[in-house]
Amino acid sequence: MIFSSLEFLEFFLPITLLVYFLVPPAWRNFVLFAVSIVFYGWGEPTLVFLMLVTLIGDWIFGYFCGKYRETDKKKAKLWLVISCVFNLGILGFFKYYNFFADNISLLFGRYILAELDITLPIGISFYTFQAMSYVIDVYRGDAEHSKRFSFFGTYVALFPQLIAGPIVRYKDVADQLVSREHSVSKFASGVRRFVCGLAKKTILADTAGEVWKSIIAIPDAERGALTAWLGIIMFSFQIYFDFSAYSDMAIGLGRMIGFEFCENFNYPYMAKSITDFWRRWHMSLSTWFRDYVYIPLGGNRCKPLRHVFNIFAVWFLTGMWHGANWCFILWGVYYGTVLLLEKYVWGKALAKAPAALQHLYSLILILFGWFIFESPNIASPAGYAASLFNSPAPLDGYEALRNCVLIMIMCIAATPYPAALWKKLLDRGGKAARCLELVLILLGIVVSLAFITASDYSPFLYTNF
């Protein structure tokens, strides 16, 4: 089930909110845990058992890490290691077994490991990292072990952020699991954020995705340069509006039921460098790797050669996290390389360049990164890259002209200026502005539902990870 489906909007969400607010406060976490299990198992009920195994395992591991962290550090560390092996073992088997089996067979020229018919559990990378962060934080003393399994289960399985984040830290929501604020203004704020995300997904992301699909279907040799550039620009808009829409909807849903989740995006296409971009894009994943991999490896407080290793290790793992595909690994190595070049080669010169040049530099490198990311195999990026420099094709001008208004709208929507302008209008407009806001929210719902009804099933891109 996805947030932008009619079954979620017309059935699951209204019933969930109704039951949640009707039961006594002491029962609300249990209700959330139960409906989250239903939400997760809607399409593939058998995969619920795998998530429950992860939840039970990590709750037990967290208990022992908390029990021994002050009295017997070795035992606490042993339980932490068991937790990491347990989580990464499950993730590795379901997500990477066939990838490794294929590559081992290619390496030796014969079948060593048989491929298995494995269904990739939706959102496994997200909930695994969230559960792991809990055990690590308990071991470090940054969080206390949850005495109630229903609280821990709610933290990991909470349906707003279960499938595609943000990756929430237990210490950030521990108090909210015990007691959280509910008010009309907070609920209304959640509805606004949710509808904003819904409109982003259905109107902007899916529309950009349709253009991208039509362009990627053109053979590389026949694709004109202008059309090729249009395609990768459209995919860049699609993945941003799609993923940030999910985060908006997750944050909005969380707010409706009293939770405050961390922000996941901060207008990444406004970045002035690739370093800046990764401070703005998928921030909960970036900080996860920073806190649990990069800093434990030594971060940047080490010799340059060690720092190079740390960066490549983190970005290799970041690429792997996204999927069992050499293109994701290449994408991670690509960004690791650019970040190192900014650190040691041209970062100082870039900082002195005009802001417009910094933005242009960042956007070009981001675009190149996206066609590596989206490529189905390791040979595809070269073919698409070559088409960026093809001769003009007969339909180049038509494609660009047909989509110029859409591009302009998306360029504006990807900046902070509409939100800042709207805030200023609300601050100065009084009741009239509030009425206009209500009208726009209702209009956003109606138009989004019209797009959902008229279009094919379109899941969020990051639910595949």
In this model, does residue 160 exceed pLDDT 70? Answer: yes
Same domain for 117 and 68, yes or no, is yes
pLDDT digits (tens, 9 = 90+) for 225-260: 888 888 999 999 999 999 999 999 999 999 999 999
* Whether residues 136 and 192 fall in one domain: no
pLDDT at position 143 is 92
pLDDT tens digits, one per residue of 24-39: 999 999 999 999 999 9
Instruction: Confirm whether 450 is domain-assigned.
Output: no
- 147 with 176, same domain: the answer is yes
In a domain, 247, yes or no: yes
* 30 found inside a domain: yes
What is the share, in percent, of the chain residues with pLDDT greater than 70? 97
Domain final position from 180, 199, 228 = 180
Query: What is the per-residue pLDDT for 412?
Result: 95
Is 349 a domain residue?
Answer: yes
Are 108 and 247 in a shared domain? no
Q: How confident is the model at residue 405 (pLDDT cuts 50, 70, 90)?
A: confident
State how far the Cα of 25 lies from the Cα of 12, in Å rounded to an integer: 20
pLDDT at 398: 62
What share of residues in the chain are helix, strand, coil (percent, to 5)? 75, 0, 25
Label residue 23 by pLDDT band (50, 70, 90). very high
Question: Maximum CA pair distance of the chain?
Answer: 74
User: pLDDT tens digits, residue range 39-67?
Assistant: 999 877 888 999 999 999 999 999 999 99
Dig out the tokens for 148 from the structure: 């109630």
Q: Which of 413, 433, 460 is the last residue of a domain?
A: 413
Asked if residue 137 and residue 22 are part of one domain, the reply reads: yes
Q: Is 222 in the same domain as 103?
A: no
Q: Which domain holds residue 366?
A: 186-413
Give the residue carrying structure tokens 């992860």: 54
Do residues 462 and 243 make contact, with C-beta atoms less than 8 angstroms apart?
A: yes
145 is catalytic: no
- When pLDDT is cut at 50, 70 and 90, the band that residue 458 belongs to is confident
Cis omega (within 30 of 0) for bond into 166: yes
Cα distance from N-terminal residue to C-terminal residue, the chain: 15
Give the pLDDT score at 388. 83
CA dihedral 306, 312, 315, 319 (to 10 degrees): -150
List CB contacts of 283: < 8 A, sequence separation 6 or more. Answer: 166, 262, 263, 264, 265, 266
- Report residue 392: phi and psi, to 5°: -60, 140
Element (H, E) at 332: helix 326-341
User: Looking at the structure, do residues 147 and 285 belong to the same domain, yes or no?
Assistant: no
Distance CA 55, CA 60 (A): 9
pLDDT value of residue 394: 60
Note whether 256 and 122 are same-domain residues: no
Tokens at 75, concatenated: 């035992």
Give the residue-averaged pLDDT of 454-464.
75
Is 432 a domain residue? no
Q: What is the pLDDT of residue 309?
A: 96
Task: Classify residue 356: in a domain, yes or no.
Answer: yes
Alpha-carbon separation of residue 325 from 102, 331, 379, 438, 458 (angstroms): 11, 10, 12, 45, 22
Tokens 């932490």 belong to residue: 80
Predicted confidence (pLDDT) at residue 338 exceeds the cutoff of 70 = yes
Active-site annotation holder among 145, 282, 307, 322: 322
Task: Say what the pLDDT of residue 462 is.
Answer: 73
| pLDDT confidence of residue 399 | 63
Q: Do 31 and 70 belong together in one domain? A: yes
Q: What is the pLDDT of residue 268?
A: 97
**pLDDT bucket at 261, cuts 50 / 70 / 90:** very high
Torsion angle of C-alpha atoms 137, 126, 97, 86, degrees rounded to 10: 30
Give yes or no: residues 126 and 246 share one domain: no
Sequence length of the chain is 465
- Computed over every residue of the chain, the mean pLDDT equals 91
Tokens of residue 50, six digits: 């795998």
In this predicted structure, what is the pLDDT of residue 186? 94
Q: For residue 233, which of 254, 211, 264 has the smallest C-alpha distance?
A: 211
Residue 446 maps to a domain: no
Q: Report pLDDT for 423.
A: 85
Same domain, yes or no, for 165 and 224?
Answer: no
Asked whether the predicted pLDDT for residue 265 surpasses 90, the reply is yes
Residue 291 has pLDDT above 90, yes or no: yes
Helices (H) and strands (E) in the chain, counts: 23, 0
Which residue, of 413, 440, 460, is where some domain finishes?
413
Q: What is the DSSP string of 253-294?
A: HHHHTT--PPP--S-GGG-SSHHHHHHHSSHHHHHHHIIIII
Taking the C-alpha atoms of 280, 286, 291 and 297 in order, what is their torsion angle to the nearest 10 degrees? Answer: -120
Counted domains in the chain: 2
Q: How many CB atoms lie within 10 A of CB 454?
A: 8
Give the percent of the chain with pLDDT over 90: 67
Q: Please determine, for residue 127, whether its predicted confidence score (pLDDT) is greater than 70.
A: yes
Whether residues 21 and 60 share a domain: the answer is yes
Q: How many CB atoms lie within 10 A of CB 383?
A: 15
Within 10 angstroms of residue 423's Cβ, the number of other Cβ atoms is 11
Model pLDDT, residue 105: 85
Asked if residue 200 is part of any domain, the answer here is yes
